[in-house]
Amino acid sequence: MREYSFIIAAGGQGTRLGGKKQFMSLGNRELWRWSAENAAVTDSVREIILVIPQGETLNPEWTHDVPLHVVNGGSERALSVLNGLNAATCDYVMVHDAARPFASPELFRRLMDAVSENAGVVPVLPVSDALKRIEGGEVSCVEREGLYITQTPQVFPRMKLIEAVEKFPSAKDEAEAWFKSGHELRHVEGERMNFKVTVGDDMTIARALTERRMTRTGLGWDIHRLVPERKLILGGVRIDSPLGLLGHSDADVLTHALMDAVLGGAGLPDIGNLFPANDERFRGADSLELMREVMRLVNAEGWNVDFADAVITAQVPRLNKYRDDIIRKLSEFFPLNIKFKSAENIDDSGRGLCITCRAVATLGRSV
Ligand code: MG
C-alpha cells in the first residue's frame, strides 16, 4: 500500500485578504486546520507537513495519531513547497493549499487511486463561466470548451516532484513543474466546495458555511402621554398632529420600544438604566442618537440585529401615511417592519390619552 505525506502550503503572506489568511479563524479553528484534520483521518496519510511563512514559529496543539510537523517556507511558493518535500519521508506526497479548507477525504482518495510511480494527478473542474480576455482595454471572447480550473491537493511520487520543482521554480503550481519535466499528468474530478479563499468575499462565504449562529429575541414596550404643545415624533419622523408625546427626551415611543427590544435580545439593561430620565444630558434628546448608542453597545457584544417588528397603538392621529418614511428612517439601524393599530376607542390609547408601542427584535451572533 502506498503511503503519503500530506504537505500543506501555508507559507504565503496572504496580502490580498489583508493578513495571513491561513491563520485566520474559520468556524472554531484556523483555516489550515480544516484540510489538516481531513488529511489526518484519511487512510494512507502517514504524516502532515505544515509549511509556514519564513521566519515565523508555530507550535500548534495537535492531538491526532497522524503526526504534524511544522517547517518554514521560503521566499517563493516553489521554495516553500521544496522545504515541505524535503521534510517529508513518504514515497508519495499530496501538496495542498491551506487556502482550500473544504477539500474532502473522498477527493483525497480519488487522487490516491489515480496516482502511479510515473504519473501525477490533479483535481480539475470544467470552467462554467463565459470567458473574456481584456488586453489594453480591448475585450475579446475566449472559447471555454476544453478549459479546466486546477485545484489542490496535487499528488505525485515525491522524489520526482522534487526534481521537477527544482528545475521549474517559477511554475504556477506543482502540476506545471511536473508537466514541464515531461511526466505524465492525470486528472480526476475536483469539487466545487474545494474553492480557494483568496479575497474577502471568499472568507465571507467560507464563514457562512462554517459558523454556528446563536439567535435571540428581545421584547420592548413603551407608553407616552399625548398632550398639547409637544411635537409628535415616531421613528425620528415628525408627524403632523395637534398633540404630541410627553417625555424627558423627544418621547419617540417607537424608537424607545425598539431600543428595549434590541437591548433585551442582547441581554443588556433597558434604556431606563442606560439613559435615566433624571439625567439632564438626555433632556429633549433625539432618540435616534440614543439608538446609535444602543447599536454601538449591542454590536460591541458581537450581536447583529437581523430584524425588528413593532406595533404602534394610537387612536389619534392616523399614522399609516407615515409608514414608509418611518421604515426608511429606521432602516439606518436594521431591517424592520411597523404596523399601526387604532385602539377601538377603548382603554387610554383608545381615548386618545397616550400612544403605546410593542416591539420585538431578532438578534444573531456567531458562537
Ligand atoms: Mg419612552
Per-residue pLDDT tens over the stretch 107-119: 999 999 999 999 9
* Over residues 127-148, mean pLDDT: 95
* Over residues 282-305, mean pLDDT: 94
The grid coordinates listed for 10 are: 501555508
Going from the Cα of 303 to the center of ligand 1, the distance in angstroms, rounded, reads 23
pLDDT in tens, 221-270: 999 999 999 999 999 999 999 999 999 999 999 999 999 999 999 999 99
Going from the Cα of 250 to the center of ligand 1, the distance in angstroms, rounded, reads 9
Would you state the pLDDT for residue 36? Answer: 95
Neighbours of 216 (CB within 10 A): 14
Would you state the pLDDT for residue 14? Answer: 58
Going from the Cα of 346 to the center of ligand 1, the distance in angstroms, rounded, reads 22
Neighbours of 279 (CB within 10 A): 11
Going from the Cα of 365 to the center of ligand 1, the distance in angstroms, rounded, reads 27
Going from the Cα of 33 to the center of ligand 1, the distance in angstroms, rounded, reads 50
Going from the Cα of 283 to the center of ligand 1, the distance in angstroms, rounded, reads 12
Distance between CA atoms of residues 101 and 211, nearest Å = 14
Going from the Cα of 216 to the center of ligand 1, the distance in angstroms, rounded, reads 23
Going from the Cα of 332 to the center of ligand 1, the distance in angstroms, rounded, reads 20
* Over residues 4-28, mean pLDDT: 78
Would you state the pLDDT for residue 18? Answer: 52
Q: Is the pLDDT of residue 309 over 90?
A: yes
The overall average pLDDT reported for the chain is 94
Going from the Cα of 345 to the center of ligand 1, the distance in angstroms, rounded, reads 22
Going from the Cα of 251 to the center of ligand 1, the distance in angstroms, rounded, reads 5
Going from the Cα of 254 to the center of ligand 1, the distance in angstroms, rounded, reads 8
Would you state the pLDDT for residue 1? Answer: 87
Q: Is the pLDDT of residue 16 over 80?
A: no
Of 96, 258, 257, residue with least CA distance to 190: 96
* Over residues 67-93, mean pLDDT: 95
Of 37, 11, 41, residue with least CA distance to 23: 11
Going from the Cα of 214 to the center of ligand 1, the distance in angstroms, rounded, reads 29
Contact 42, 106 (CB under 8 A): no
Neighbours of 116 (CB within 10 A): 12
Q: How confident is the model at residue 63 (pLDDT cuts 50, 70, 90)?
A: very high
Would you state the pLDDT for residue 226? Answer: 97
Going from the Cα of 288 to the center of ligand 1, the distance in angstroms, rounded, reads 12
Going from the Cα of 271 to the center of ligand 1, the distance in angstroms, rounded, reads 8
- Which residues are paired to 6 by β-bridges? 48, 94
